Amino acid sequence: MKFFKKGEDPKKQDSTPSKPHPELKVISGSEISDNKTQPSGEQTHQHQQQQNIVLPNVKYKIAIASGKGGVGKSTVATNLAISLAQMGSNVGLMDADAYGPSIPTMMGIQEKPKTSPERKLIPLMRHNISLMSIGFMVPEEQAMIWRGPMLHSAIRQFLSDVEWGELDYLIIDLPPGTGDVALSLTQALPLTGAVIVTTPQDVALADVRRGVAMFERLGVPILGVIENMSYFQCPKCNEKTEIFRSDGGKKTSERLGVSFLGDIPLDAEVCTAGDLGVPIVAGRPESPQSNAFRSIAVELEKVLIDSGEEDELTIL
């Protein structure tokens, strides 16, 4: 905020250009492709009027979202993708979290993708998953500051300029909240539906309702709710302890009229496995946590089959 002296005309502002912060750099979608121009407001409006991107070789396009941060959304997206692959499906995982891409760390891969002769990005492979992340494009320590047009450009490029190939599932990890990325994604791609990740806490459950309302406004069906960190199960006596509260995610999904896909116990090994780059479903496939993720993958598959591949899902 700038203050003006009495009698000073606010229109006559100092024209001296401001100096950029030495450690911050704006990363635009142009650094992902050869497009060197930034879209103007008019161009952005034209983008919104463009026909949706079609991925004919991808059967299900599913967004993994959360109303707030800190609920383990990326952990769920990663382990869910691996679970689906272990069930025999061809799976791609797109990290659309422009502000805090964590898929490279969780998957233990920091390479830059190569380019095909057709000048398209080739996804990296890990744990039988085709991976693409904004985190592959920039150094890990570099701050990423995005405006709406940049996000829109990057999301479209990650859909149309990547050789995804034949996929049964394209799992898209969204940033938390109800911001520009979800809007850009739904404008660019007709989604099969969205999965909302929450914890049993009241504050998280309130954000579930906001997330559902957002996708309702955007015309995206809700495939179900996943409750993460539901309870702690003692590894010695197998006793369950409710850390937050009981059945909050299930009750909320029932109230909203959407499927409850399942719950995942709270365990330090899930976090440790992600930090080491070997998600628990891949590193410890027989663990209770891995079984929980696989059970959720089975429920998601049932929801999709029951909805009918050619039929429209019910929108709230």
| Terminal CA-CA length for the chain | 42
Looking at residue 267, its pLDDT comes to 81
| SS3 call for 2 | coil
pLDDT, one tens digit for every residue, the chain (316 residues):
444 445 555 444 444 444 443 333 334 433 433 344 444 444 444 444 454 788 889 999 999 988 777 788 899 999 999 999 999 999 999 998 777 788 989 999 888 889 889 889 999 999 999 999 888 877 665 555 555 567 677 778 888 889 999 999 999 998 876 667 777 888 788 899 999 998 887 666 777 888 888 888 888 999 999 998 877 777 777 777 776 666 677 888 888 888 999 999 888 888 888 888 899 999 999 988 999 999 999 999 999 998 875 444 444 4
- Residue 58 belongs to domain with CATH number: 3.40.50.300
In a domain, residue 210? The reply is: yes
| SS3 call for 316 | coil
Question: Structurally, how many domains does the chain consist of?
Answer: 1
Looking at residue 140, its pLDDT comes to 63
In a domain, residue 13? The reply is: no
In a domain, residue 95? The reply is: yes
For residues 4 and 16, what is the distance between their CA atoms, to the nearest angstrom? 16
Looking at residue 8, its pLDDT comes to 52
Looking at residue 99, its pLDDT comes to 72
Looking at residue 62, its pLDDT comes to 96
| SS3 call for 24 | strand
Alpha-carbon separation of residue 284 from 64, 171, 287, 289 (angstroms): 23, 22, 6, 9
Residue showing tokens 């693409």: 132
pTM, two decimal places = 0.76
In a domain, residue 74? The reply is: yes
Taking Cα atoms as reference points, which of 296, 218, 211 lies closest to residue 259? 296
Taking Cα atoms as reference points, which of 302, 221, 233 lies closest to residue 265? 233
Mutual angle of helices 148-160 and 180-188, in 10-degree steps: 40
For residues 83 and 97, what is the distance between their CA atoms, to the nearest angstrom? 21
For residues 294 and 272, what is the distance between their CA atoms, to the nearest angstrom? 19
In a domain, residue 19? The reply is: no
φ and ψ at residue 24, rounded to 5 degrees: -110, 140
The alpha carbon dihedral of 278, 281, 282, 283 has a sign of positive
Enclosing domain of residue 281: 52-307
In a domain, residue 27? The reply is: no
In a domain, residue 215? The reply is: yes
Looking at residue 148, its pLDDT comes to 57
Alpha-carbon separation of residue 280 from 107, 267, 271, 285, 290 (angstroms): 11, 11, 9, 7, 6
